[in-house]
Structure 1
Amino acid sequence: MTITTLSSRAFQQNANQAQKATQSGPVFITNRGKPAHVLLSYEDYLRLKGTRRSLVEALSMPGLEDIELEISPSRELPRPADFS
C-alpha cells in the first residue's frame, strides 16, 4: 500500500492524479501542512465500513467466556441527582 500526500492546492489542481493514486492506497490531503482529509477508493471505503460490529457481536465473540472480569467495589457512595 502506498500513501500519497497532497496539499489542498495540489489536490484542486490535480484531482485526476489523486483519484488514480487511490488505486494503490489512501491519499492524505493537507491544509497548511496538517492532514485534513483522506481520499479512498470506494472498495477501500466499503472494506473499512464493513469492519464495524455491534456491541452484541463484539461481546459474543468465541473465547470471551474464559476471560474473568474483576470489578473492585467502589468506596464512594452514589450521590443523589440534583434536579434543580
Structure 2
Amino acid sequence: MTTITSREFNRDVSAAKRAAEHGPVTITDHGRPSHVLLTAAEFARLSGALEAVGDRLWARDGIQIDLDLPARTVEPPRELDL
C-alpha cells in the first residue's frame, strides 16, 4: 500500500490518483493515517453500493428466476376517528 503525506497529496493529486490504480493510497496528516484513496471501481467492489437488488434478480445467460410472491391485497380504508 502506498502512503503519502497530505502535503504531497495537495501538490500532486494526479500522482496519488495514478498510485490508487495499483492499490489503496493512505494519506497521512501529521504522521497519522487520515484518509484512504481508492478508485471508484474498487470502492464499489468493497461497498457493494452500486449493486441493486434488481441486478441480482435480472435474468443472465438465459437463466430465469421465478419468484412465488403472495397475491397483492388492498384493504378498504379505515374510518377516521375524530
One of 32, 42, 50 as aligned partner of 2:30: 32
Letter in 2 for 1:45: F
Task: Kindly provide the CA deviation profile for residues 41-74 of structure 1, in whole angstroms up to 9, marking residues without a partner as x.
Answer: 01100001118xxxxxxxxxxxxxxxxxxxxxxx
Q: Which residue of 2 aligns with 1:17?
A: 15
Structure 1 runs, 4 residues or longer, greater than 6 Å off: none
3-state SS of paired residue (2:3) = strand
- Where do 1:1-84 residues align within 5 Å? 3-50=1-48
CA RMSD, Structure 1 to Structure 2 (Å): 1.2
* Structure 1: 5+ residue stretches without partners: 52-84
* Structure 2: 5+ residue stretches without partners: 50-82
Normalised TM-score (structure 2): 0.57
> Identity, % of aligned pairs?
43
Larger of the two Rg values belongs to structure: 2
Normalised TM-score (structure 1): 0.56
